[in-house]
Every structure is written in C-alpha cells, then in structure tokens.
Amino acid sequence: MVLLNPGETVVRQEHCRMESRPGLLLLTNQRLLFEGRLTEGFLTQAFRGPRMATLLDAPLHQVSNAHLDRRLLGRPSLRVDLLGKFRTFRVSDAGAWFTAIAAAKQQADHPSPWTGQPSPVVLQVQAPPPPPPPPPAVVRVRCPYCRTVYDEAAGKCPSCGSPFY
Ligand SMILES: [Zn+2]
C-alpha cells in the first residue's frame, strides 16, 4: 500500500517491471513510486507469499530527466534519471509515461498560485471608545435656616449664605 500525502493524486499507474523486478509504478502529482516484491529467501517466499514494499519513492524534483530507451526488439522502456541514478521501467507505453512525468513535473515546479488555502485576512480592529464618565451625582440639600434647596457642591446657601454642614 502506498500512502498518499494530503493533496496528492495518482496521475498514472501500471503494473510493470523496474529492472527485472515486477511491481506497480505510480506517478502522482508529487512523486514517482514503485511498489514491488521484496527479495527474500525462496523458503520465506514460499511460506509467506511475496511481500510488497515501496522500492522507489522519489519526489518529482529528484526526477531530473526521462528517456525512451529504444531497443532493437520490442517496445521502448522508460528510463528515469533520479539525481544521477537511472531506473528502467518496462512499461507498455513509454511515450505516454514520458509525457505524463514531464507534465506532472512542470506542474510541481510551477504550481498554480492558487493553493486552495484562503489568504489570511488581517482585520484592523479598533478599540471601542471608552464610555463617557458618568455625570457627577448632584446632591441637593435644603438650607436648615431659610429652607432653600441648593446643590451641595455650592458649599453654602445661595440665599442666606449660611455654610453647608
Ligand atoms: Zn439659607
């Protein structure tokens, strides 16, 4: 089983041979993968059956080139350059694989600017203005001498002049 990354999709796949090893060649929009049989002892294989393992897991940026390996007889093979290492795949249509790898690599090298992620929006939030101070409480008092009602803040009776106490 090949585990795909989030956003990774299989572009092309084919059961073929990598060198002489049978397996499954997978091209995704991120990687070139080959899942094949592990080399095990004859008795182990006979007892357990063949075990599969990911024998190649190359991100597309490691795929530096691809060739159609033409032979005198039979269909051309697909040869892929992986940072100086070569892998040959006996696929049925090497030309179609070449085109698909080139397209996937170009897509990966020049990804669309639209990533599907919403761009972060910076909100300028202004603090609400502070509430106005409450009006000072007005305490009304009655003058004990002339019965005039006045504001306590005045300090003395505006009518008779007697001080507030
Ligand atoms: Zn008074």
User: Would residue 78 count as lying in a domain?
Assistant: yes
Owning domain of residue 57: 10-109
31-42 pLDDT, tens digit per residue, is: 999 998 776 666
Query: Has residue 152 been placed in a domain?
Result: no
Q: How many CB atoms lie within 10 A of CB 19?
A: 13
Q: Which helix (H) or strand (E) holds 37?
A: strand 31-37
- Residue of higher predicted confidence among 129 and 146: 146
By C-alpha distance, which of 72, 105, 68, 64 is closest to 88? 68
Task: Please report whether residue 96 resides in a domain.
Answer: yes
What's the rounded mean pLDDT across residues 9-13?
Answer: 94
Is 86 contained in some domain?
Answer: yes
Residue 138 CA to ligand 1 centre (angstroms): 18
**If you average pLDDT over every residue of the chain, what do you get?**
82
What are 99-135's pLDDT values in tens digits?
A: 999 999 888 876 655 444 444 444 455 667 788 887 7
The number of domains in the chain is: 1
Q: Enumerate residues with CB within 5 Å of ligand 1 (an ion).
A: 143, 145-146, 148, 157, 159-160
Does residue 15 sit within a domain? yes
Alpha-carbon distance of 11 to 98, in angstroms, equals 12
Predicted local distance difference test score (pLDDT) of residue 18? 93
From ligand 1's centre to the CA of 148, what distance in Å? 6
CATH of the domain at 56: 2.30.29.30
Q: What is the whole-number distance in angstroms between the Cα of residue 150 and the centre of ligand 1?
A: 9
At residue 84 the predicted structure's pLDDT band, cuts being 50, 70 and 90, is confident
Q: What is the pLDDT of residue 119?
A: 44
Q: Per mean pLDDT, which range of 23-37, 49-63, 121-135, 141-155 is the poorest?
A: 121-135
